[in-house]
Structure 1
Amino acid sequence: MKIVPLLGRILFAFIFLMSGINHVGGAGADYATAAGVPAANIMVRLAGLLALVGGLSVLLGFKAKLGAWLVVIFLVPVTLAMHKFWGIADPMTAQMQMGMFMKNVALIGGALLIAYFGAGPLSIDNKG
């Protein structure tokens, strides 16, 4: 059953690797600007770097606790700035943003578990 934490890390990290690569390239800066994020082009790229480094760290199980904190540092401001469902008049758009908000809250929960418990077996952190 040592494979289960590894599979969990792979599945958990995938979203941060994909979004991190996209954000480092500047994808989403227009959306962030529209949401009122100051210096969106720079902030999106920095957020992408946090997501990418944190995701790689968790995936590899190398300093996974630190990587999980990087993911939390990425997710908290992004969630609050980009998914403000409480301020949206259109019910369908508000529902979609609430879903994205709650998804990010769940990801924060997962990251906090990794930050506390670590990478588990089959990781660089636990090679010895």
Structure 2
Amino acid sequence: MDVLVLIGRLLFIGLFAASGVNHLTQTKAMAGYAASRGLPLAVPATVASGLVMLVGAVSVGVGLWADIGALLLAAFSFSVAVLMHGFWAEKDPQAKMMEQSQFFKDVSLGGAALVLFAFFAYAGHDLGLTVTGPAFSLG
């Protein structure tokens, strides 16, 4: 069971880890996109979001207060869904469909991160293959 949970955690964080690295190594391009979506202070927001993704991904991946890492990833995902993928404001049908797909992807990832938070906060001390137990306890 422990190995299965570890594999699932690692597969889940892959997107966040890769995107976090991209936010920090391709900041200008990522910030340009953020600015085009109307996000103020696009460069600092891009760096901050990259750090949030990396910290959350490492936390969940290695099991270092993974419940807090999962909350970080949930907060990031829900924020990005609303701030960056406002499909409701798109006029072009193709752009609207693309943004709607991205919106629901981010909402789904946020939902999965909330499930991971609850899982760690409930059963975290009983899980192997983690560095620490959870910071919160729901059990």
TM over 0.5: yes
Deviations 1:4-38 (A, max 9, x none): 21111001111110001111231410000000000
How high is the TM-score relative to the length of structure 2? 0.84
**Structure 1: which 4+ aligned runs deviate by more than 4 Å?**
none
After the TM superposition, which residues 16-95 of structure 1 pair with which residues of structure 2 at under 5 Å, given as runs?
16-25=16-25, 26=27, 27-95=29-97
3-state secondary structure, aligned to 1:42 = helix
Query: Does the 8 Å contact 1:5/1:121 carry over to 2?
Result: no
| Cα distance in structure 1, aligned partners of 2:2 and 2:58 | 20
| CA distance, structure 2, for counterparts of residue 2 and residue 79 of structure 1 | 31
Structure having greater relative contact order (Cα 8 Å, sep ≥ 6): 1
SS of the aligned residue for 1:73 comes to: helix
SS of 2:73's equivalent in the other structure is: helix
Aligned residue in 2 for 1:10: 10
Gaps of 5+ in 1: none
- Residues 67 and 116 of structure 2 are in contact (CA less than 8 Å); yes or no, is this contact kept in structure 1? yes
Structure 2: how far apart are the matches of 1:78 and 1:59? Answer: 21
Cα distance in 2 between the residues matched to 1:79 and 1:45: 18
Equivalent in 95, 98, 108 of residue 96 of structure 1: 98
* Paired residues, number: 126
> After the TM superposition, which of the residue ranges 13-22 and 114-123 deviates more from structure 2?
114-123
Alpha-carbon RMSD? 1.4
